[in-house]
Amino acid sequence: MNNVKKLMMSLVVLFMLPHTSSHAQQIEPTSMAPGWSFPYIGAGKGTWDASVGVFFWSDTFHARNLQLRGDMDLAPGMRWHTVVRSNQEQDTLTGFHPHFDENYLEGYGFHTDSAGTLSANLRAGNMRYLHFPYPDAIDLFDQVPGISDLTGGQKTGYNGELLTLDYAHKSGLGIHTSGINWGFGREGGSQLLENYLFYRQNLGNIHFETHIGGLAVRPEPLGRKENGYSVYVGTNGAGYTAGLLYEKLHNQPAYTGIMVSFPMNNTTKAMGKVAFDYDRTPQGFAMQLPLVSGTIGDIQKKAPEGGVLVGEIKAERLRTYWQNGQVRNYYEHRRSSWGQTGSRDLVVVMTEEPWHLQAEALVSPHLFNVGFKTWEKDRQGPAQLSQTVTYQFYKVQ
């Protein structure tokens, strides 16, 4: 244990030293125009889809998790999101008792200047996904809310009012904090979920990150934090990337993790389209099959003839899951914005890339030297699906 701590802290010192040959940068930066930005596609515009889950093995087949998802912009920096399932059962479609996995109003904005970007987000309702403005490599290891609420156990997810503030300096340093006022069926008052300093550095083909401060505790029930640190070292570039995590929090065992991210190809697109997952308890394969989808409001798929491009928003939709292959969350990160967007006199054109399996992040409350069988037996395995979308805004003469 002491040797591992010394190694990881040595890496922290090494990467925190100034490097004249490399410019520190935030991984997956949010790019906005100087000043305040509230990326917005237009009032009453959005998307929806319906899907159904299946779980199967050699002697088992379940249809489950019939769900309807909807997202709609309301005003600049304001939108509504919902994921409603037909019942609150784990492995059946029997009975019709609609249940909101997610259902909240959201306000968000970004302030960018020559030094960095401040990101602010306030959500009120039922939530199962916390990442904002965009998950870094350490965030990919975060535990996804479980499924005990589908088996008569305790409620999962984050119900209430959630405030997140994040400041990323161009040096790679930054600060992140999030707090919740529990409500909408959950008791607990107000509390901080996370409050930590971070540092991110790309050095050639190596990527380094550390979070230091109040970090989320991994065992359920989620919503607790302890002081400590996480350190991640991995490869950086296009295509396949991989990295290792070490984390030690007060009153918690040391966690280690392995993360692999994947390029978009026929295999990862096929897995992403149906949210394919292999589960161990119980053993089997899980999928979330798309049924039908559409748009809300006037959103086009082709640029208007004679239209002039005057603005653009690039976004990335993410879905995360790990336990029993239940896909129960969805979030569209608005990643960059320029020009005129959201005005009623503009034509909105949406271009969607295929969903694909973006990353698998395995984390276990053991050091690697315990042996693979022991390490893997107690591990969690969050998976992340991604879809890139571009909104272009045209003025018709």
pLDDT reported for residue 79: 98
Check pLDDT > 60 for residue 84.
Answer: yes
pLDDT tens per residue across span 93-133: 999 999 999 999 999 999 999 999 999 999 999 999 999 99
Task: Quote the tokens at residue 193.
Answer: 């979920």
Task: Quote the tokens at residue 273.
Answer: 């389209």
Residues near 148 by beta carbon (within 8 Å), at least 6 away in sequence: 154, 155, 156, 220
Check pLDDT > 70 for residue 225.
Answer: yes
Over residues 274-284, the mean pLDDT reads: 90
pLDDT reported for residue 19: 36
Over residues 159-179, the mean pLDDT reads: 97
pLDDT reported for residue 231: 98
Over residues 363-369, the mean pLDDT reads: 96
Over residues 52-68, the mean pLDDT reads: 96
pLDDT tens per residue across span 141-154: 999 999 999 988 88
| 341 neighbors 384 (Cβ within 8 angstroms) | no
Nearest to 155, CA basis, from 182, 134, 181: 182
Check pLDDT > 90 for residue 9.
Answer: no
Over residues 370-387, the mean pLDDT reads: 93
Task: Read off the pTM.
Answer: 0.91
Arithmetic mean of pLDDT over the chain = 91
Length of the chain in terms of residues written: 397
> What is the number of other CB atoms lying within 10 angstroms of the CB of residue 184?
16
Indicate the burial class of 209 (C-beta count within 10 angstroms; 0-12, 13-18, 19 or more): buried
pLDDT reported for residue 331: 98
Q: Which of 184-188, 303-307, 316-320 has the lowest mean pLDDT?
A: 184-188
Check pLDDT > 70 for residue 354.
Answer: yes
pLDDT reported for residue 28: 55
Distance, in Å, from the CA atom of 297 to the CA atom of 295, rounded to the nearest integer, reads 6
pLDDT reported for residue 185: 86
pLDDT reported for residue 20: 32
Check pLDDT > 80 for residue 26.
Answer: no
* pLDDT-based confidence at residue 237 (cuts at 50, 70, 90): confident
Check pLDDT > 70 for residue 215.
Answer: yes
Nearest to 247, CA basis, from 263, 262, 232: 232
| DSSP single-letter state for residue 181 | E
222-225: Cβ within 8 A, 24+ apart: 222/143, 222/145, 222/146, 222/156, 222/158, 223/158, 223/180, 223/182, 223/188, 223/191, 223/193, 225/192, 225/193, 225/194, 225/195
pLDDT reported for residue 25: 30
Residues near 3 by beta carbon (within 8 Å), at least 6 away in sequence: none
* pLDDT-based confidence at residue 29 (cuts at 50, 70, 90): low
